[in-house]
Amino acid sequence: MGLPYILCSLFPIPDSRLPTPDSRFPSTYKNNFVNPSSGDILKFNHVFRFQMNSSTPSIQFFDGIYEQLSNVSLRKNRRSGARIVLMTFESLKAIEQFNSYRNRFSQSMVLTDEEGIINMTPSSIKFRFGGPEGDELAGVECKVEIDEDHHWERFMRFMNRYAEANGMAYGETKPSTEG
């Protein structure tokens, strides 16, 4: 795993603007970073932003806004042989409270894990709406087609890590045997 990268300011930053403990990086506290492998406390002056290659798998559409995957369906196009991934999100944090206006759009779906970053461009995105007025987001489906075997293998390694970290289980659906 790579070293964390730190952006430092030339001018002192008031304590109120320093990072606070965060559920995503529980080992960051103001000017301290606790190295999870050794337990050493490293001190940095004037920390502006803390970012590291996280071993926790994550999905983002907008920088710094981590989405929670609800379901994933893996399919194969019988004609072309392309593998199709249908990723379902019950909600998107990026569109809650206008977060998408405050963060930079990634131009793709960004999957990050201990191996690095995967940028995937969905072939289609479907927004489902519900509620009494039909204007409440009920879910989002992102469809991605993967042609190359090595891309598929890399995606599956990411999904296995994501599933393990988020309590998801892999299960195959059997074709119906009823006549």
Instruction: Give the model's confidence band at 67: pLDDT under 50 very low, under 70 low, under 90 confident, else very high.
Output: very high
Residue 151 DSSP class: H
Tell me what the mean pLDDT of segment 10-15 comes to: 34
Query: Could you tell me if 88 and 46 are in contact, meaning their C-beta atoms sit under 8 angstroms apart?
Result: no
The tokens describing 150, both together, are 């090595």
Query: Could you tell me if 16 and 60 are in contact, meaning their C-beta atoms sit under 8 angstroms apart?
Result: no
Range from 26-30, 125-129, 166-170 carrying the lowest mean pLDDT: 26-30
| Amino acid at position 47, single letter | V
Range from 2-11, 19-28, 157-166 carrying the lowest mean pLDDT: 2-11
pLDDT at 37 > cutoff 70: no
Position 50 scores a pLDDT of: 32
Position 157 scores a pLDDT of: 95
pLDDT digits (tens, 9 = 90+) for 91-138: 988 887 665 666 656 678 999 999 999 999 999 999 899 989 988 889
CA-to-CA dists, residue 51 to 121, 136, 145, 152, angstroms: 24, 33, 30, 28
The tokens describing 72, both together, are 């994933």
- Burial state string for 36-75 with b = 16 or more CB within 10 A and e = fewer than 16: eeeeeeeeeeebeebeeeeeebbbbbbeebbbebeeeeee
Domains of the chain: 5-51 (no CATH), 58-165 (2.40.30.220)
pLDDT at 32 > cutoff 50: no
Position 120 scores a pLDDT of: 92
pTM above 0.85, yes or no: no
